[in-house]
Amino acid sequence: MFTIEHDFDATVITLVDEGSAPLQEDLTINAFDECVTVEQLDPRTDRVQKITLSNQQLRDLAAALNLPEGIYAGLPGPR
C-alpha cells in the first residue's frame, strides 16, 4: 500500500510494508525540484534515517533497476 500527497514544495509518497513478517517501517519519499529524500524510522535507535539523492542519482537508480550487472557511465538523459 502507498499514499501520495502533494505539499507546497514537494510530492510525498509513503510506502507501507504489507508483506509477511518481519515487516519494515514505513518509507517516506519526498520529491522536491532539486532532490529526493528517502526517510525511514530506525526502531533500534528510534530516529529517522534520511538519504538525499540528486535528480541524476535518482535517474541512475531508476535505470539501474532494469540493467544487468556491470559498470555504466553516461546513461541517456540530461545531467
> Considering its fold, how many domains does the chain have in total?
1
In a domain, 20, yes or no: yes
Report pLDDT for 72. Answer: 84
In the structure, what pLDDT confidence band is assigned to residue 41 with cuts at 50, 70 and 90?
very high
In a domain, 72, yes or no: no
User: What's the Cα-to-Cα distance from 71 to each of 8, 10, 14, 27, 59, rounded to whole Å?
Assistant: 38, 32, 31, 28, 15
In a domain, 39, yes or no: yes
In a domain, 75, yes or no: no
Q: What pTM value is reported for the model?
A: 0.81
> Within 10 A of 65 (CB to CB), how many other CB atoms are there?
7
In a domain, 76, yes or no: no
In a domain, 70, yes or no: no
Q: Would you say residue 31 has pLDDT above 90?
A: yes
Residue 37 structural domain: 2-64
Does residue 60 contact residue 47 with C-beta atoms inside 8 Å?
no
